[in-house]
Amino acid sequence: MQDSPVKDADVLKKYRLAGYVFLGLNLVYFGLVYAFLPPFHIDLSTAASVGALVVMVLVLAWYLRKGARKLAIVLAVIYAGRILLSSYTMATGEAFAAVPFVLPCLVLTFYFLARAAWDWA
């Protein structure tokens, strides 16, 4: 069964906003994580991996903008799990140094995805 785009104009605005927020906050997330990584030599495989991640985020954001409800639900569930796991690692003291800084990105992305997927206010 194919995921049909949303027809209602008000709900479609939420999906467009979710797509832009997903793209923007993921780019901020990548930047923050890169800033906390120790210096390393960037070779072709590392650059290809980062490029593939950016392309994947662009493609997912494009589908979100089109009103893909199932994609928004799947991503919202994934982000909810990431928030729980990040919170758990912070509480136990095992978190990566960037986690306190990227957790707000995860929470905001989850909110905008869930807002579009489940038509929150």
Residue range 104-119, pLDDT digits in tens: 999 999 999 999 999 8
Q: Which three-class secondary structure state does DSSP give residue 76? A: helix
Half-sphere exposure of 58 (CA within 13 A, CB side): 6
Residue 3 lies in a domain: no
- CB 71, CB 116: distance < 8 Å: no
Q: Is 1 a domain residue?
A: no
| 67 Rama sector, left if φ>0, alpha if ψ -120 to 50, beta otherwise | left
pLDDT value of residue 40: 73
Q: Is residue 99 part of a domain?
A: yes
42: pLDDT strictly greater than 90: no
Please give the single-letter amino acid code of residue 110.
Answer: F
The answer to whether position 42 is within a domain reads: yes
- Tell me the per-residue pLDDT of 63-101, one tens digit each, with 9 for 90 and over: 999 999 999 999 999 999 999 999 999 999 998 889 999
Number of domains the chain is built from? 1
Q: What is the residue range of 53's domain?
A: 9-117
